[in-house]
Amino acid sequence: MHQKHPRFVPFALSALLLGYGVSSYSQTSMGTDPAPSHLRFSGFATLGVVSNSNPDAGVVFSGAQSKPAFKGLSADLDSVLGLQWDYALRPDTSLTVQALARAGEDLQPSLRMAYLEHRLGTVSARGGRMRTPLFLDTYAEEIGYANPLIRGPLPLYGAAPSQIIHLDGASLQWRMPWALGSVLIEGYYGNGRFKHVWFSATAVEQASVIVDDITGITLSTTLGNTSVRVARTNLGSYRIDSSNNTELNSGIAALSNGLTRAAASYAGVPTIAQSLVAKARVLDSFYDALHAPQQYTGFGFTSNFGQLTVLCDWATWNLNTEMLGKLNAWQLTLTYETAYGTPYVSVSQKNRTTPRGDTSQVTPTGVPGLAQLDAGIAGLRGGLDRLALYTDASMQSFTLGARWELANNMALKAQYDLLSTPSPQLTGAFKVRAIPFDNNVNLFSVALDVVF
């Protein structure tokens, strides 16, 4: 029996996290029982329009989005169409495939899930492409109807490493229903390949994000009207392949080799030779500045208190490089159901908790005859300082909006967002072409969500 109020949303998400799948949710939400067929089809769509007040800062749903919402009207930020197929090969074995296209990614189809699942009692095993379960609403993150807001808070969801949307690998789930709720423990392993778009003053570049050896475990539980989830994920290797990164590494290697050769030529002057070798080592420490293992820990909570629903997430990332540092993020969302609609308010923040990369030791040699090397070192320091600003994901948001149920499978939302970073030098999840920039963005959004 479908409940028309958004209080259903958190428990729909809990059901998804406990393995029931998007299609069974969407059929239930429309008040129909699944057809007695081996093949089930479902889908979801959002048509969203936003108005951005800021010509400097583009807003994106993910790092893969090539068409940011800059100043003016745009349908690229939130508009999406998703389709899912579930095929029962046997009573205990099924195949799930989910594909979607986002307007901000030029409507290029993307395969989000394609896995085979086998169930044996309370244990199930999956193999193939699966959503990476980083957050409480991972399995429904892009289904607008299943979420109270038009989009998840951008400080938490809108910047790497939040963009590890799926993994290719395997997972093992054990679920235990009990009188007052249920418990799910899931372990997973796999690899991921993603697109990331870099913006600069002169070009837009598409980079490849390569993530290997993704391992993790989650514990999810429901108790009455409350759901809680804890997750721990390790990324054995996180690498960005781009021409910018290749150029940076080539420059570091060339300058380091030049310093080493210069040190050899000054072997008769130990103090100068030792200083040049030390400077080469400093430069070497910035090689592959964005490549390292990473760790993620997350906690999610949602509960109903009468007409009030509370949703919160907290997460921490250890990115294991001086350039990227460590991050903490959180979000708190409150919704209140009334006979005239469901207003909501949300606040979110992400902060870097370690200092940005220290380039104070990247200094010219001051040695006569090495002016060309010194010019290269000065240029490298400027590039590293800019990179540190572009990769600092610190950001905060305030959201105020309302949701109206138009039908059993359709909702209309209107929303205002105030997004900002701590300073005009820090880009957060914005796409900018130059810094400094106007780091305050006012977004006005309207979206129509459907499931079918």
The answer as to whether 258 is a domain residue is no
Is 106 a domain residue? yes
Residue 212 has pLDDT above 80, yes or no: yes
Domain span including residue 177: 8-241+292-354+378-451
Is residue 154 in a domain? yes
Task: Average the pLDDT over each of 28-42, 84-98, 419-433 and give the range with the smallest value.
Answer: 28-42
Q: What are residue 351's DSSP bridge partners? A: 328
Q: What percent of the chain is predicted at pLDDT more than 70?
A: 89
Q: Residue 148 falls within a domain, yes or no?
A: yes
210-214 long-range Cβ contacts below 8 angstroms, 24+ apart: 210/237, 210/238, 210/239, 210/240, 210/241, 211/164, 211/167, 211/235, 211/237, 211/238, 211/239, 212/236, 212/237, 212/239, 213/189, 213/237, 214/132, 214/164, 214/167, 214/169, 214/188, 214/189, 214/190
Confidence of residue 221 (pLDDT cuts 50, 70, 90): very high
Q: 12 falls in which pLDDT band (50, 70, 90)?
A: very low
Residue 62 has pLDDT above 90, yes or no: no
pLDDT at 5 over 70: no
Least confident of 75-79, 340-344, 430-434, 447-451: 430-434
What's phi and psi for 300, nearest 5 deg? -130, 145
Q: What is the pLDDT of residues 350-375, one digit of tens each?
A: 999 998 878 989 999 999 989 999 99
Within-domain flag for 248: no
pLDDT band, very low/low/confident/very high, at 399 (cuts 50, 70, 90): very high
What residues form DSSP beta bridges with 333?
311, 346
Residues β-bridged to residue 347: 332, 398
How far apart (Å, rounded) are the C-alpha atoms in residues 83 and 111?
10
pLDDT-wise least confident of 21-25, 244-248, 271-275: 21-25
Compute the mean pLDDT over every residue in the chain, rounded to the nearest whole number.
88
Q: Is the residue at 271 inside a domain?
A: no
- The reported pLDDT for the residue numbered 170 is 98
CATH at 134: 2.40.160.10
Give the per-residue SS3 of the chain: CCCCCCCHHHHHHHHHHCCCCHHHHHHHHCCCCCCCCCEEEEEEEEEEEEEECCCCCEECCCCCCCCCECCEEECCCCCEEEEEEEEEEECCEEEEEEEEEEHHHCCCCEEEEEEEEEEECCEEEEEEEEECCCCCCHHHCCCHHHCCCCCCCHHHHCCCCCCCCEEEEEEEEEEEEECCEEEEEEEEEEEEEEEEEEECCCCEEEEEEEEEEEEEEEEEEEECCEEEEEEEEEEEEEEEECHHHHHHHHHHHHHHHHHHHHHHHCCCCHHHHHHHHHHHHHHHCCCCCCCEEEEEEEEEEEEEECCEEEEEEEEEEECCCCCCCEEEEEEEEEEECECCEEEEEEEEEEEECCCCCCCCCCCCCCCCCCHHHHHHHHHHHHHHHHHHHHCCCCEEEEEEEEEEEEECCEEEEEEEEEEECCCCCCCCCCECCCCCCCCEEEEEEEEEEEEC
Q: Are 32 and 49 in contact (CB under 8 A)?
A: no
Is the pLDDT score of 289 beyond 60?
yes
Percent of the chain with pLDDT over 90: 67
- Classify residue 83: in a domain, yes or no: yes
Q: Is residue 255 part of a domain?
A: no
Query: Of 3-7, 246-250, 281-285, 314-318, where does mean pLDDT reach its minimum?
Result: 3-7
Whether the Cβ atoms of residue 100 and residue 81 lie closer than 8 Å to each other: yes
pLDDT mean over 311-327: 90
Question: Domains in the chain: how many in total?
Answer: 1
181-199 and 110-120: which strand pairing? unpaired
Torsion angle defined by CA atoms of residues 132, 184, 450 and 400, in that order, rounded to the nearest 10 degrees: -80
Average pLDDT over residues 281-290: 90
Q: What is the pTM of this model?
A: 0.85
Sequence-separated (6 or more) residues with CB below 8 Å from residue 297: 231, 232, 233, 315, 316
